[in-house]
Structure 1
Amino acid sequence: MALWQPHLHDEASRKYLGIVQALESDIYAGRVKPGDRLPSQRAIAEALRVDLTTVTRAFNEARRRGLVEGNKGRGSFIRGAVEKKLISDKQALLDLSMNNPPQPVSANLQQRIPEGIAGLIADQRRMLQLHYQDSAGNPVDREAAAHWLQAKVVNIHADRVLITGGAQSALYAICHHLLKQGEYLATAEYTYPGLNAVSQQLGCQLQAIATDEQGIIPDAFEQSCQKKSIKALYVIPALDNPTTATIPLARRKKIVEIARRYKVAIIEDDPYSTLQTKPIEAFASLLPELTWHIATLSKCATPALRVAFIITPNADDIEKLADVIRATQLMAPPLMCALVTRWIYDGTLDDIAQAIRQENNARQQLAATILKDWTYQADPDGHHLWLALPNNWLAADFASHAEKMGVTIVPSSSFAITNKPIDAVRVSLGLATDLDSLTEALTILTRLLSQTQRLTRAVV
């Protein structure tokens, strides 16, 4: 049993609070555990060179906060389960801002990841493939990627597949290859924020394309091509982030016709279609000679893998992208790539995606029940929704008030390419630990939605 070493928290406004905050910090950091004994009040006073009254006041405050408990004749101890309480208090009550996939028990990632890695390390043949790799990816892993990608893109061969450390690095490499400073990259008027980060780094300009509930409007895309020299179109074709729209096949074909006519490359960022019960033919199948397809495992398995695949228009493009990857990240993580390859061939990756899809279905059903009186866009296979706000709410203010009530969400301005975004928020359903937590978070949001008067932050 450890004995707490007294000290003062430097930033405390009062000495007695400095003792309490120091104790709280040590519990949170794991330096003391539930059940550990505290020195006597007199010993603490002598060690810190403060009067006994200050220490007594600190003990009373620590008891009030539930940090310590007394045992007559034995002294004071760190209260049981207090560490768990402190950790939960330091986190946002409910995070609906990060668009993570849920991790259902049926996905069994806690067991599959360590067992999979242990199996790789035990295999001497596979160990040889865990050293430095070619920046395009290990040939064995590229073959596995091509095998897995055949489920959604036709006529794929490994010589057109490149592996990167996540979709963001893939997107940067493609844009770096396709676009020069000042050139135009078209995208939906509400789009993935990481694209804006890439455009700022490369100095290319984003051109907003009007959308509706089915995604990018073809006529609006063509008008932009007529007015400006559009070099590429960025699109999330399925379960769009943030709007959840899936572009239907007929509309995809119209967009393909326009792209072919104006010689516009298509960057198809496709993290979600693996989760769809009925996926639609990919742009990479409809227009292979102009499409750069990105398929990450972050949304259909786990972001921890940091593995994404790129399908290039032809084999010659691989080395050009590999040059960018070599300069920015050298290679995708070999251990994670090896694990993904094993999961592809033994069916584990598909099993995880199916478990996530089923959990998404359950969470979307729950959201539909709680938000039945409000307007929003969603897809039963996805793990986020796009919530339109009533007239008395501004998106930024709604998100701010939600955070004060313990729920974090993302306002439309974070996704907007337009200067005057609509008042909407993205609500991500995946990070909540269970359905009870999600119910609590969504219920809090409905209370805010029901406010009849506009609430704004004070400006001074």
Structure 2
Amino acid sequence: MYVLHHGKATVTRDRPTGGWLRHLRAGGGRPIYLALVEALETAVREGELQPGDQLPPQRAVADQLGIDFTTVTRAYGAARARGLVEGAVGRGTFVRRRAVDDEAGLVDLSMNLPPPPQGVSLAALLKETTAAILDRTEVATLMAYHAGPGTPGQRAAGAAWLAPVLGEVGAERIVVCPGVQSALTAILTTITRSSFQSGSKPGACVIVEPLTYPGIIALAERLGLRLVACPVDDQGFLPEALARLCAEEQPAAVYLVPTTRNPVATTMGSARRRAVAAIVDTSEAWLIEDDPYSRLFDSPLPALASLAPERTFHIATLSKTLTPGLRTAFLAAPAGPMAARIADALHATTLMGSPLTTAVAVRWIRDGTADRILAGVRLEARARRAIAAEILPAARGDAEGLHVWLDLPTGLDAGGLRTLAAARGLALVTADAFAATSDHPAGLRISLGGPAKASLLREALRNVAALLEPAAIV
């Protein structure tokens, strides 16, 4: 039975509870209604209660436990807010059917993907395009090795794709890469090898934001490079701090994602871009501008590569604007021999990209299909961002962005939060995954494009909101 003390409960074991209520662990001054919710959550997580199972009536639970009816009512309400149960008047309360969105049974809010484009069937387009390519291209050509920075036609398509952001750029500066990570590998191995061979200090480090793309963190570790975190504000690097670090550290490179910054979701303004470009342009460092999101904007801000073209590598992947399955990114190198050197590094590290998916990407750019897909992605991305603003008003991010950032209380156990989220069918990623330094803000990056349908996203975000309620994370 349960003995109540001023709305709290302690448990005695002289009366069995039976069923999922055996998971009840009251005590320690915790409210009994919260202990009930946690017992229900445990039973769902362990599979004892299945989606669609009906819970006993609230009055029956109150009578069985010897507690007040309103306490059970509060518990059922909290469980509903957490997304554990659903109910209807006259029917009862049932374990909620989880919106399964992947093979692991999780709705993925951790991986940044473009949402399914409105008004466009990627499956139909892919079938049509691959059939046309196979009909008009020698299969042997698609099955062969291809070295170098890309064919003239592929490089011209890349220049055309980058033009709305970079302006006119010569195709001879374009290198076709099988994704951003391969591009970053080629850039860093090229510029740091030169630095080490000359015996200078620049090869020692790369300047990044305190929270940055996990791929650059992993790559720096593999290459033995130090990451130096530059102080930031809501627009990114603080110019005075960046200038000081460039002078003191003599970095090989400065790496940033200026548009819809990853993970914090804000965009560097025009004035700040000019300041950052000017600082790097007068240093010995190279600027690596990772720009996956600018094409999602109707009027993108000037790329840093257009402000410091002699010192900037500009990378734009199709994975965030069209689909990650194309495994294609376009790199605009500084004028001169750098494009050829990057192509050599790509050959040494990844050999080549897939000729077939590259052919699909190029065809879509040439015939306007890429613009159609992009327009559909923009529409859906904005609709999803509006859903996030409705459900998580404290989250920040661009109206065109694929993710938002939510500050979390300092000291919150990030691992515990992810575990609780997984128990609710959510895959989340917290600030520690992006941390280039131990001194970083706590937060949660919520990616909006992964769920197959906006309705699944809405449900998942409601579960996130419930998860972040104080009672849920005590």
Per the normalisation by structure 2, the TM-score is 0.74
- Closer, same or farther: CA 126–159 of 1 in aligned 2, 3 Å: farther
Output the CA distance in 2 between the equivalents of 1:230 and 1:101. 33
In the alignment, what sits opposite 1:52? none
Give unpaired runs (5+ residues) of structure 2.
Answer: 1-48, 52-97, 197-202
Q: Describe how 1:28-47 pairs up with structure 2 within 5 A.
A: none
1:268 aligns with 2:281: no
8 Å contact from structure 1 (residues 136, 331) kept in 2: no
1:420 CA displacement: 2.8
**Which residue in the other structure is 1:432 paired with?**
451
Q: Quote the Cα distance in structure 2 between the aligned partners of 1:430 and 1:327.
A: 34
Deviations 1:406-460 (A, max 9, x none): 11110100001121332211111111111221111111111121124753xxxxx
Q: What's the counterpart of residue 124 of structure 2?
A: 111
1:227 corresponds to? 248
Deviation at 1:131, TM superposition (A): 3.2
Corresponding residue number in structure 1 for 2:222: 201
Q: Which residue of 1 aligns with 2:331?
A: 310
- Contact 1:184–1:232 (CA under 8 A) maintained in structure 2: yes
Q: How does 1:385-404 map to 2 (within 5 A)?
A: 385-390=404-409, 393-404=412-423
Aligned 8 A contact 1:142 1:163 in 2: yes
- Work out whether residues 176 and 331 of structure 2, in 8 Å CA contact, stay in contact via their aligned partners in 1: yes
| Structure 2 contact 204–251 (Cα < 8 Å) conserved | yes
DSSP 3-state at the match of 1:293: strand
Which residues in structure 2 correspond to 1:98-137 (within 5 Å)? Answer: 98-124=111-137, 128=141, 131-137=144-150
RMSD over aligned CA atoms reads 2.4
What secondary structure does 1:295 align onto? strand
Distance 2:108 2:355 in 1: 31
Q: CA deviation at 1:92?
A: 3.0
Go from structure 1 to structure 2 and tell me whether the alpha carbon gap of 1:105 and 1:421 turns closer, same or farther (over 3 Å shift).
same
2:313 match: 292
For 1:39-438, what aligned pairs fall within 5 Å after superposition? 91-124=104-137, 128=141, 131-180=144-193, 183-372=204-393, 375-390=394-409, 393-438=412-457
Partner secondary structure for residue 313 of structure 1: coil
Query: Do the aligned residues in 1 keep the contact of 2:389 with 2:395 (CA within 8 Å)?
Result: no
CA separation of 1:238 and 1:326: change in aligned 2, threshold 3 A:
same
What's the offset of the Cα at 1:161?
Answer: 0.6
Distance 1:437 1:396, change over 3 A: same
* Counterpart Cα distance in 2 of 1:138 and 1:255: 33
1:233 deviates by: 0.4
Tell me, yes or no, if the aligned pair for 1:268 and 1:294 is still in contact at 8 Å: yes
The answer to whether the Cα contact below 8 Å between 2:173 and 2:333 also exists between their aligned partners in 1 is yes
Deviations 1:151-174 (A, max 9, x none): 211331111111111111001100
Q: Distance in 1 between matches of 2:356 and 2:433?
A: 34
- Matched letter for residue 406 of structure 1: G
Match of 2:54 in 1: none
Report what 2:57 is aligned to.
none
SS at match of 2:147: coil
- Corresponding residue SS for 1:101: coil
**Matched AA of 1:269:** D
The structural deviation recorded for 1:315 is: 3.5
* Matched letter for residue 357 of structure 2: M
Indicate whether 1:449 and 2:468 are aligned. yes
Q: For structure 1, which segment, 130-139 or 213-222, has the greater mean C-alpha deviation from structure 2 after superposition? A: 130-139
Measure, in 1, the Cα distance between the counterparts of 2:363 and 2:403.
Answer: 29
Number of aligned positions between the proteins: 373
CA offsets, 1:194-223, max 9 Å, x none?
A: 001110111111110112211222122112
* Aligned sequence identity (%): 36
Structure 1 unaligned regions, length at least 5: 1-63, 67-84, 456-460
Contact 1:389 1:395 in 2 (8 A): no
SS of the residue corresponding to residue 470 of structure 2 reads coil
Contact preservation (8 Å) 1:267, 1:293: yes
